[in-house]
DNA sequence: ATTAAAACATACTAAAAGGTATGTCAATAC
DNA sequence: GTATTGACATACCTTTTAGTATGTTTTAAT
């Protein structure tokens, strides 16, 4: 058996993701990727069937990472407290930490990047992108529903509302970040949402 | 004097904006635009020097529209009440109305679309995009500062924080909207921010 | 009516993009 | 050591895309 090429494939995906964050997927040409990775066409088409395959592989890898992060957040939050509301607040806190310490979320969100050129992707990639959101909605939505069985919000809102608001707060931070440059805006946005939830349920 | 071509130019800009919302600017080829507008290359390059010029003209037109909308919001809010906090809440209400009645904001946000492929644009376009955000920040920020001279927030936050949170709430709604399809999510996100401000200052 | 000039259409060009064909090298099993 | 196979590099091809060159139509002032 010959040598291992998985490192090269990961390198291509890394370089692609960085470029996608900067200029979107369509403008991320293979030449740009290969220049950044210091590789050639031969290397690329050995690991990927096409540019579409690259888009698919990238979002698939991203989905795995996000799922792991989400699981980690839930697990850590459940170790802190048994109260579902406090668990959500803790999860937001962990997210803020991740962003402020230069974690993966401080670099951007591939779901958001893809969302702004959805029509360019095939049905499979679109489905995968949406699945990312769905996963977060299910997990966070569950926590909010349990929280609302226990506590009454001061203003009538649904668990689904809160869940979408949380995702929107994060993604909105990403947009401002892309425009302004400082990832701290992302955590600021999450802090605001945490404040909102705190006030809404009179927590803390 | 020959006939008037401004309608054609506007048509090209309209078609471009729709396509940019769907697939981003880079993937919006001139052929796609001209097919949608039922025009030809000749028409395009008569009105625009280049595709870069198209990007510039599009964001310039968008900036003018946004500035008018913002002025309208402020004027209407100032007619409703003299209280700066209530003015902000009123402005958010008007925004929600605009979105729910199929206004321009329910179609997308060009600042956000551009933000995800910033590296593809020249310095001029980047500056114009940022100016859009800056304008909103100045106007809304001013209202929040005056509101905080009068009222104490229950949780310590700055006027700039709130301003950025408001913009992030809107843009976050846009991201989810792009992914899911229903523009109502945008207004839901704005409602959540309005709730936040209400709770924060004990308004209503 | 003539004409000038803007408002387009048509046909083409050049370069950039994705993709292919083919070859070389390196690691491992035998 | 040799053969085999994956991991790349190089050179080329093809299509797409922005852009150009040139021609035709339309409008309105004279």
CATH of the domain at B18: 1.10.10
B98 and B171 housed in the same domain: yes
- A169 is a domain residue: yes
Are B24 and B116 a contacting pair, CB within 8 Å?
yes
Are B151 and B201 a contacting pair, CB within 8 Å?
yes
Could you report the per-residue pLDDT of B123-182, keeping only the tens digit for each?
A: 999 999 999 999 999 999 999 999 999 999 999 999 999 999 999 999 999 999 999 989
Q: How many CB atoms lie within 10 A of CB A41?
A: 10
**Residue closest to A193 by CA, chosen among A51, A88, A97:** A88
Q: Is A8 on the interface with B (CB under 8 A)?
A: no
B149 and B173 housed in the same domain: yes
B181 and B136 housed in the same domain: yes
Residue B184 CA from chain centroid, whole number:
16
- A53 is a domain residue: no
Q: Domain of B111: which CATH number?
A: 1.10.357.10
Q: Is A157 on the interface with B (CB under 8 A)?
A: yes
Chain A residues in contact with B164 by the CB 8 A cut-off are 176, 185, 188-189
The pLDDT value recorded for residue A104 is 96
Q: How far is A179 from chain B (nearest CA, A)?
A: 5
- B54 is a domain residue: no
Could you report the per-residue pLDDT of A35-53, keeping only the tens digit for each?
A: 999 999 999 999 999 999 9
- B55 is a domain residue: no
- A115 is a domain residue: yes
Rounded-to-integer distance, Cα B183 and Cα B189, Å: 10
pLDDT score of B189 more than 70:
yes
- Report the alpha-carbon angle A24-A29-A32, nearest 5: 105
- B155 is a domain residue: yes
Distance B66 CA to D18 C1' (A): 30
Q: Is B185 on the interface with A (CB under 8 A)?
A: yes
Could you report the per-residue pLDDT of A150-190, keeping only the tens digit for each?
A: 999 999 999 999 999 999 999 999 999 999 989 999 999 99
Do B171 and A170 lie within an 8 Å CB cutoff? no
A120 and A175 housed in the same domain: yes
Distance B6 CA to D28 C1' (A): 17
The share of chain A scoring above pLDDT 70, in percent, equals 99
The model's confidence at residue B4, banded by pLDDT at 50, 70 and 90, is confident
Rounded-to-integer distance, Cα A173 and Cα A98, Å: 14
pLDDT score of A120 more than 60:
yes
B72 and B28 housed in the same domain: no
A116 and A43 housed in the same domain: no
B123 and B28 housed in the same domain: no
Q: Which nucleotide is nearest to A41 (CA to C1')?
A: D9
Rounded-to-integer distance, Cα B36 and Cα B32, Å: 6
A36 and A77 housed in the same domain: no
CB A50 within 7 Å, strand C? yes
Q: Phi and psi (nearest 5°) for B115?
A: -60, -30
Q: Which nucleotide is nearest to B12 (CA to C1')?
A: C8
The model's confidence at residue B1, banded by pLDDT at 50, 70 and 90, is low
Do A189 and B172 lie within an 8 Å CB cutoff? yes
**Structural domains in chain A (count):** 2
* Ranges assigned E (strand) in A53-157: none
Are A23 and A44 a contacting pair, CB within 8 Å?
no
CB A40 within 7 Å, strand D? yes
pLDDT score of A30 more than 60:
yes
Are A74 and A139 a contacting pair, CB within 8 Å?
yes
Do A192 and B195 lie within an 8 Å CB cutoff? no
Which bases of strand C have any atom within 7 Å of the beta carbon of a protein residue? Answer: 4-12, 16-23, 26-29
To the nearest whole number, what is the mean pLDDT of chain A?
A: 96
The share of chain B scoring above pLDDT 70, in percent, equals 99
Q: Is B113 on the interface with A (CB under 8 A)?
A: yes
The pLDDT value recorded for residue A1 is 52
DSSP summary character for residue B118? G
3-state secondary structure B10-55: HHHHHHHHHHHHHHCCCCCCHHHHHHHHCCCHHHHHHHCCCHHHHH
Which residue in B has a C-alpha nearest to residue A178's C-alpha? B115
pLDDT score of B2 more than 80:
no
A110 and A141 housed in the same domain: yes
Could you report the per-residue pLDDT of A104-117, keeping only the tens digit for each?
A: 999 999 999 999 99
* D17 closest protein residue (CA to C1'): B29
B22 and B93 housed in the same domain: no
Q: Would you tell me which residues 38-67 of chain B have a C-beta closer than 8 angstroms to some C-beta of chain A? A: none
Do B27 and A118 lie within an 8 Å CB cutoff? no
Count of all residues that appear for chain B in the document? 204
To the nearest whole number, what is the mean pLDDT of chain B?
A: 96
Secondary structure (3-state) at B114: helix
How many helices (H) and strands (E) would you count in chain B? 9, 0
A17 and A96 housed in the same domain: no
The H or E element spanning position B138 is helix B123-150
Are B165 and B179 a contacting pair, CB within 8 Å?
no
**Residue closest to B24 by CA, chosen among B109, B108, B113:** B113
Rounded-to-integer distance, Cα A79 and Cα B65, Å: 50
- A100 is a domain residue: yes
Rounded-to-integer distance, Cα A180 and Cα B133, Å: 9
Are A195 and A89 a contacting pair, CB within 8 Å?
no
Rounded-to-integer distance, Cα A185 and Cα A170, Å: 10
The pLDDT value recorded for residue A181 is 85
Which residue in A has a C-alpha nearest to residue B108's C-alpha? A116
Domain that holds residue B196: 63-201
B73 and B27 housed in the same domain: no
């Amino acid at each position: 058996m010959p040598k291992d090429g998985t490192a090269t494939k990961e390198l291509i995906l890394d370089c692609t993701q960085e470029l996608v964050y900067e200029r979107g997927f369509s403008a991320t040409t293979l030449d740009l990727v290969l220049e950044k990775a210091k590789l050639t066409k031969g290397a690329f088409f050995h690991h990927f069937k096409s540019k579409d395959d690259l888009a698919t592989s990238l979002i698939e890898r991203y989905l795995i990472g996000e799922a792991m992060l989400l699981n980690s957040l839930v697990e850590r939050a459940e170790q802190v407290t048994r109260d579902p509301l406090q668990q959500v607040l803790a999860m937001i806190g962990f997210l803020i930490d991740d962003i402020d310490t230069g974690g993966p979320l401080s670099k951007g969100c591939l779901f958001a990047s893809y969302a702004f050129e959805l029509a360019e992707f095939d049905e499979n990639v679109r489905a995968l992108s949406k699945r990312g959101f769905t996963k977060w909605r299910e997990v966070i939505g569950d926590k909010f529903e349990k929280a609302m069985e226990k506590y009454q919000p001061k203003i009538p809102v649904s668990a689904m509302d809160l869940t979408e608001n949380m995702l929107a707060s994060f993604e909105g931070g990403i947009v401002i970040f892309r425009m302004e440059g400082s990832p701290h805006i992302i955590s600021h946005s999450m802090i605001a949402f945490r404040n909102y939830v705190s006030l809404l349920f009179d927590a803390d």
